[in-house]
Structure 1
Amino acid sequence: MVKLYDKGVYLLNGTKIVEDAAEAAAGTGQAVSQEEAAKNTMAYSILEAHNTSGNMDRLQIKFDKLTSHDITFVGIIQTARASGLERFPIPYVLTNCHNSLCAVGGTINEDDHMFGLTCAKKYGGVYVPPHQAVIHQYAREMLAGGSRMILGSDSHTRYGALGTMAMGEGGPELVKQLLGKTYDIKMPGVVGIYLDGEPARGVGPQDVALAIIGATFANGYVNNKVMEFVGPGVGKLSADFRIGIDVMTTETTCLSSIWKTDDKIKEFYEIHGRAEDYRELNPGAVTYYDGMVYVNLSEIKPMIAMPFHPSNVYTIDEVNANLKDVLHDVEQKALVSLDGAVDYSLQDKIVDGKLYVEQGIIAGCAGGGFENICAAADIIRGKYIGADEFTFSVYPASTPIYMELVKNGAVADLMQAGTIVKTAFCGPCFGAGDTPANNAFSIRHSTRNFPNREGSKLQNGQISSVALMDARSIAATAANKGFLTSAADIDVEYKGQKYHFDKEIYANRVFDSKGEADPSVEIKFGPNIKDWPEMPALPEHLVLKVVSEIHDPVTTTDELIPSGETSSYRSNPLGLAEFALSRKDPAYVGRAKEVQKAQKAIEAGKCPLEVLDELKPVMGEVRKMFPDAGEGNIGVGSTIFAVKPGDGSAREQAASCQKVLGGWANIANEYATKRYRSNLINWGMLPFITTEDHQNLSFKNGDYIFVPDIKKAIEDKTAEIKAYVVGSGLKEITLSVGDMTDAEREIILKGCLINYYKG
């Protein structure tokens, strides 16, 4: 089904995989250079065209377009304004698909929308009102273009199927683009994803995506690399099918994606009235990839990603055949994810030997596409979901899709069966819509199934579960009144209806400045929209207190700052910070604030020992070895340890909340994603790495760590940084910060990106 090559390979003429240069030379009749063949990837050509550094080893990228949604654009624009923003230099689209419901905090969500609209007018952007489209569907319909690059402040910014290299990053990276700066990375590795065969009946894009995620996530095979989709199987897939696979590549922890393009993608652009934006893309005659994932589409069966990660995959047939064993395995894995916060069992989901689920949802950038919903309507037509606990909701990804589904009768078929059809909204994907009952089990064609993303609150004893499936099998389960069913087992006639895009829907409702800024417009600020607090520069020495210690194999950004109801506070840095680690370590905020008192005293010109008594013996030990450490040259703050933090969302707040609570650093064995590490750096937090085994650390929660001469170490690009765990004496440990650009080092020294641009 899915095979991973254990080394780099060559692809000849886009079809034949060979494993060494000699074989590649024999197949082409000419000498083959790995270095030259690596330049023949589609990714290389696009990156080269957007690189401004003149050095393809160290890229400085300028993107063609930017996009953000209403959880992120307020903070981004506020940061850019504090750094000198005058106008948007490139097209910037502000969509409103996350905080669409004004259910938390009164008016504050709609206040954010008005902020966005007035900023689009003032700075020359595009504003997409709530319920018109989810961020990524609007980008596919209106922004993507062959060989373009788009940067979005959402991790699922992926438009590779349309020939667009897109990346999801934390907000500060968009700020850099708004200020005319660059996105600086080393040249990423490129891994080929070779598609062969053709999907079987009942298999959808989510099934293919889950199979790939299951094969590549845990081993980091494509971590921070570009996934390049090639092979004869690509041509067997529709544009919508490719898009559905592509958006899920985020869950592999790759950096970006790109696909070969053909007449089906050309037709996509033609349907959307943008034929001029199509570009044919193919790898070169001899192309070298740093790795290869071979996918036989014909062998993929309907899949399910069981709680609580998209990589926890099984075939639906496996689950149904080994129900008790699979559910037991899931329960055991949940012991790690849930930290024993609640009693968790799925055994009550077995009803008459079958798995019963209480909810089905097709939604968002992954599930809400035209073909997915048409297929679901075909499956459920003439059937009924029943009048018991099971509910079924469908969210078309944009109003144009919704309108076409109304016109072709799909909405009527869904509604007649008992389905609730709703407007474009990302809520079910991040815990702000369709929250199931306590202990319920939900199957969703959406992007993630992390704990709490379904809306439960472990600290209140509330838990429900989400499994990811394709729309087709979700509809088959709905037709079977909530009993888990593979779409491959359903006898159905798929109509294969053609899509027609109505451009007037957006033309009549979306504000588009056409790039013209109007400085006279006054920005509307709701009472919840706050400026960033002042942040100090990096001092000569640091005193850090470990205030949280997380030993899970991977820590998601959802655990660092929860989604759901917290989203309404994303425009209020201090208000949002109150929720930091609240579902992972509820005592974190109090501990961090206690340590922050010392730093605030320093900034006020007072002695930190007077406000934090526990510092007195710490500094007493420090001064035995470093007598000059003290007034005027130290900073005091908090740090957390996590084994591998930062999987999941691109949200910058996972880092900024720690910063505004006085955080100076993270300590980790490694960082799950490039984007989380970048967020730390952009908020002036040191991304420390330790090689110590996480079960045998030299420090523990509550310990103080002294890092002498940290400022000089960053300035001098010191590879290994000596630090000391403070107890009855100083115990030396070694930390590093990994590879950093000169600009990143300067940001750390200045204290954050805002300070860096202020000068």
Structure 2
Amino acid sequence: MDLPRARAHGTVTQRLIDDHLLSGRTEPGEEIALRVDQTLTQDATGTLVMQELEALALDRVRTEASVQYVDHNILQADERNAEDHLFLRSAARRFGLWFSKPGNGVSHPTHMHHFGAPGKTLAGSDSHTCAAGSLGMLAIGTGGLEVALAMAGRPLHLTMPKVWGIRLTGELPPWVSAKDVILELLRRHGVQGGVQRVLEYHGPGLASLTAMDRHVIANMGAELGATTTVFPSDGAVRGFLDGVGRGADFVEITAVEDASYDLDEEIDLSSLEPLIARPTSPGNVVPVREAAGEPITQAVIGSSANPGFRDFAVPAAMVAGRQVPAGVSFDINPTSREILQDLTRRGATFDLIAAGARIHQSGCLGCIGMGQAPAPGSNSLRTFPRNFPGRSGTVDDAVWLCSPETATASALTGAIADPRDWAARTSVAAPPAPDAPDPPSHNDAMLEPPLPPGEAARVQLVRGPNISALPELDPLPDSIHGPVLLKAGDDVSTDEISPAGANALPYRSNIPKLAEFTLTRLDPDYPRRAEAVREDTGHLIVAGANYGQGSSREHAAIAPRYLGLRAVIATSYARIHWQNLVNFGVLPLEFEDPADYDRIGRDDRLRLSGLRGALAPDGEPRLRVHNTTRDEEYTVRHRLSPRQRAAVLAGGVIPALAH
């Protein structure tokens, strides 16, 4: 079938999409459907995904490879996480997934090591799934239900994005690394700069970036709001795959010589300097030299945003023979067992321990607020991807994002330090080149393969008392007349809607209990007020721009929906959260005139009528909203496809499929 071409052509992105396109036109703004080769789920989102597979009555996954990782909730303060881990393992065995045990590694670099392959599509229930674009994959983070549907053999639907070509030239100077590349893009464009775009890197500067460097850059494309990030599959990818023993998976995928992009950008790598994101946004980026001297109490190395051997080996070499000051906690979170083995083989683990570092198990840990929470108001430097308010587990946190070089120089100094200045003071000319083992370690002892179909069919799911059934969702009524229980500002993250951390996250498979934490960082009384009107009128939320940025967790949609949320009116939405609202029957509307946001107050009562007609296949996407408190009217619109309209009308995707 001949499909119209978008303006961008000859790109890696276009080739990957064309090779997997099942329906739709590849023009920006159009809904397309893609075939999914692989899926990735992690434990913070995976429990709901497995329950959704049950609801879909799936017998066995239909993908080439689906992997369930346990990397987020590995802090077992009580029985709840342990129960969920048993449930996830039993579900992986029942439905034919690979299972990565707790402590095996962070999902993204572990998937890259064991399963990533150029030319494949990957759908993951984690927003940083885009990291796999470092290998020339089309890797898209999305809500858990989208991943469950992909496992069931259904296509992944998304709005066709524009392709943003980012040309790299030059080479990174000493003490500047891959983290500074993506921080530079965030400095230029902020957390909304990549919305409805694929970031595709090209140009001569790629030659100096390893596959793991590219992983760092691709991972944090999510912080720009991008649909995903794509790199070519070239010699660097071949070298990586050869190193992990999977050279046969290599396929060269590069843009054609005269490729064109919808948008163009250029970064001269040689012009970059060490950068740092101030609290409390990844987009709040400044040169490290502008923040130098701020005292710190914690520096953490690790996470999917800096997961490679060099990201630990360089800090180990920097601290060798030195001591971290007594007032600084220097934490090391190895991202996989292979990385920990290789660091140990090279003696780097000893150097870190001798310098006063605290070595933790392989996992996400403090990145999702599961341990390592800093003291209120004290500066914590982290090589993590996000520093949204409270994400660390501390309400009044002060988390900064930076490279391993900056974090280590600061840890040794006791204050934020430009690594170039630290090097000058200590007479270290350049970062020591990490002496990586060749070949790197390969350890699949904690990676369980899928059971054969006959054996899998006999597996019973192990369901602990903390795992509740999915809530039943009723159809959308023809009219809504309810209060605005929350008026939120711009860039509200899913961490603020459905908090992570050691208190809330263990209830991720218990929606009624998790709902008690919903939006409490913005309004501690929200759950009680929502419960009071849930059975009567339900309620609405009004929000500013980029509502729902950050994590892909669908809990941020289903928990408010459980509490009676029927519609959100926002200036704009983050991609994944917008789709998650649709998936669970919440109507996402946008102001026709953004100035109307200022005319609505908390507790105003809004009436929307004729909803079922407006969401009919030929319905008008614009609606009038009557503010009965102020006797005003506003125009709002939706941008739902016919498929999404049907889902919202039915109360969500699962009820729609049941009809």
Q: TM-score, normalised by structure 1?
A: 0.82
2:55 is aligned to 82
CA distance in 1, matches of 2:441, 2:321: 32
1:717 is aligned to 619
Q: Secondary structure of the equivalent of 1:670? A: coil
What are the equivalent positions in structure 2 for 1:371-520 lying under 5 Å apart? 371-387=310-326, 389-457=327-395, 463-487=396-420, 489-490=422-423, 491=428, 492=430, 494-500=432-438, 505-506=443-444, 508-513=445-450, 516=453, 518-520=456-458
Query: Contact 2:568 / 2:588 at 8 angstroms: preserved in 1?
Result: yes
What are the equivalent positions in structure 2 for 1:723-734 lying under 5 Å apart? 723-727=625-629, 731-734=632-635
Query: Shift of the alpha carbon at 1:493?
Result: 5.5
Matched, 1:67 2:4: no
Instruction: Identify the match of residue 561 of structure 1 among 498, 501, 511.
Output: 498
Matched, 1:700 2:639: no
Instruction: Identify the match of residue 363 of structure 1 among 302, 312, 319.
Output: 302
Query: Shift of the alpha carbon at 1:268?
Result: 0.3
The superposition leaves residues 484-503 of structure 1 with CA deviations (integer Å, 9 ceiling, x where unpaired) of 34246411551331244666
2:151 is aligned to 178
Instruction: Figure out how many residues of one structure are paired with residues of the other and give that number.
Output: 642
Query: Contact 1:369 / 1:396 at 8 angstroms: preserved in 2?
Result: no
AA aligned to 1:679 is N
Q: Secondary structure of the equivalent of 1:167? A: strand
AA aligned to 1:194 is R
CA distance in 2, matches of 1:194, 1:243: 17
AA aligned to 2:406 is S
1:130 is aligned to 102
CA distance in 1, matches of 2:584, 2:598: 26
CA distance in 1, matches of 2:481, 2:215: 48
Q: Secondary structure of the equivalent of 1:286? A: coil
Query: Shift of the alpha carbon at 1:455?
Result: 1.4
Between stretches 238-247 and 223-232, larger displacement belongs to: 238-247
AA aligned to 1:755 is P
AA aligned to 1:44 is Q
AA aligned to 1:477 is S
Query: Contact 2:106 / 2:335 at 8 angstroms: preserved in 1?
Result: yes
CA distance in 1, matches of 2:34, 2:238: 26
Query: Shift of the alpha carbon at 1:175?
Result: 2.0
Instruction: Identify the match of residue 225 of structure 2 among 245, 253, 262.
Output: 253
Matched, 1:98 2:36: no
2:161 is aligned to 188
Q: Secondary structure of the equivalent of 2:260? A: strand
> Which structure has the bigger radius of gyration?
1
CA distance in 1, matches of 2:257, 2:239: 25
Query: Shift of the alpha carbon at 1:722?
Result: 2.0
Counterparts in 2 of 1:483 and 1:127: CA distance versus 1, 3 Å: same
The superposition leaves residues 373-397 of structure 1 with CA deviations (integer Å, 9 ceiling, x where unpaired) of 111111111111022x211011111
Between stretches 236-245 and 142-151, larger displacement belongs to: 236-245
Query: Shift of the alpha carbon at 1:483?
Result: 5.0
Instruction: Identify the match of residue 147 of structure 1 among 99, 106, 119.
Output: 119
Counterparts in 2 of 1:309 and 1:670: CA distance versus 1, 3 Å: same
Query: Shift of the alpha carbon at 1:282?
Result: 1.4
AA aligned to 1:587 is D
CA distance in 2, matches of 1:497, 1:160: 26
Query: Shift of the alpha carbon at 1:694?
Result: 5.2
CA distance in 2, matches of 1:153, 1:239: 23
2:654 is aligned to 754
CA distance in 2, matches of 1:597, 1:38: 49
Counterparts in 2 of 1:466 and 1:267: CA distance versus 1, 3 Å: same
1:597 is aligned to 535
Counterparts in 2 of 1:193 and 1:692: CA distance versus 1, 3 Å: same
CA distance in 2, matches of 1:310, 1:418: 28
Counterparts in 2 of 1:694 and 1:650: CA distance versus 1, 3 Å: farther
The superposition leaves residues 707-737 of structure 1 with CA deviations (integer Å, 9 ceiling, x where unpaired) of 1110111013312112322248x54322211
Q: Secondary structure of the equivalent of 1:289? A: coil
2:524 is aligned to 586
Query: Shift of the alpha carbon at 1:558?
Result: 1.0
How much identity, in percent, do the aligned residues show? 28
Structure 1 residue runs of 4 or more that deviate by more than 6 Å after TM superposition: none
Unaligned residue ranges in structure 2 (runs of 5+): none
Over aligned residues, Cα RMSD in angstroms?
1.8
CA distance in 2, matches of 1:596, 1:310: 35
Query: Shift of the alpha carbon at 1:639?
Result: 0.9
2:539 is aligned to 638
1:39 is aligned to 9
2:20 is aligned to 50
CA distance in 2, matches of 1:511, 1:59: 34
Unaligned residue ranges in structure 1 (runs of 5+): 1-33, 321-353, 458-462, 599-635
CA distance in 2, matches of 1:422, 1:546: 44
Counterparts in 2 of 1:201 and 1:727: CA distance versus 1, 3 Å: closer
1:737 is aligned to 638
Query: Contact 1:705 / 1:726 at 8 angstroms: preserved in 2?
Result: yes
What are the equivalent positions in structure 2 for 1:662-673 lying under 5 Å apart? 662-671=564-573, 673=574
Query: Contact 2:596 / 2:634 at 8 angstroms: preserved in 1?
Result: no
